[in-house]
Chains A and B, each alone.
Chain A
Amino acid sequence: EADIYQTPRYLVIGTGKKITLECSQTMGHDKMYWYQQDPGMELHLIHYSYGVNSTEKGDLSSESTVSRIRTEHFPLTLESARPSHTSQYLCASSLRIEGQGEKLFFGSGTQLSVL
């Protein structure tokens, strides 16, 4: 079973506020990801990391930033939240299985609402 945790579970904030979404995993996975998902829609990759001090932009442009100072921790920050940032944010980490592929494990997500 995956052990990946996201906080907060829900967040309602006003426009212009700075926020940080937390994500931690206890599996020792090197690779971590942030996806954005609108209700019932597909997941879009916004950031990922290969390991400590590695951060990469995903396929969907995002105004958020990420950091990876420790293997287990991959926080996402919005410097100035706007209503267009309202969405669900999903964190994941992956285990690469030799001869197979990257198997992603997801957290429960943070539902962000910006008023």
Chain B
Amino acid sequence: GESVGLHLPTLSVQEGDNSIINCAYSNSASDYFIWYKQESGKGPQFIIDIRSNMDKRQGQRVTVLLNKTVKHLSLQIAATQPGDSAVYFCAENGGSQGNLIFGKGTKLSVKP
């Protein structure tokens, strides 16, 4: 079936390093993608989104890259901080009625 998945379930980085979290999607009809951050005990929080007519979008310390050729999405976090420790989910609007489908999540741990 159509789904969104992540390549790695866990990622550990040193404080100050850059983090790259990857996501693969399979629904070629999806045209909107979002990254969410979920801290322990909280609901997902919007980080950044991108439309399929773009291949890169930058926010504050975060960049999302979209490669439609290989159906790949990535989230880059610059100068990773302890507060970035969380589970990161990608989502695509490839569900029924355009609803979001969420991937399995990558747990990012930041070492001081």
Chain A interface (Cβ < 8 Å from any Cβ of B): 6, 33, 35, 40-45, 48, 56, 58-59, 90, 92, 99-109
Contacts and interface: CB of A to CB of B under 8 A. Distances in A.
Query: Which size bracket describes the interface of B in this complex?
Result: 20 to 34
Contacts of A90: 43-44
B96 A59 contact: yes
A6 to B, nearest CB: 8
Contacts of B45: 106
Contact of B100 (A6, A100, A102): A102
Contacts of B25: none
Nearest to B6: A42
Given A90-B43, A107-B43, A109-B41, 13 more contacts: A6-B43, A40-B87, A42-B103, A43-B89, A43-B102, A92-B43, A99-B51, A101-B93, A102-B93, A102-B98, A105-B46, A108-B43, A109-B42
A6 B34 CA distance: 23
Contacts of B49: 100-101, 103
Contacts of A43: 44, 89, 102
Contacts of A108: 41-43
Contacts of B41: 108-109
Contacts of B104: 41-42
B3 to A, nearest CB: 9
A92 to B, nearest CB: 8
B36, B89, B99 — most chain A CB neighbours (10 Å): B99
B105 A104 contact: no
Interface string B86-111: 01010001011111111111010000
Contacts of B43: 6, 90, 92, 106-109
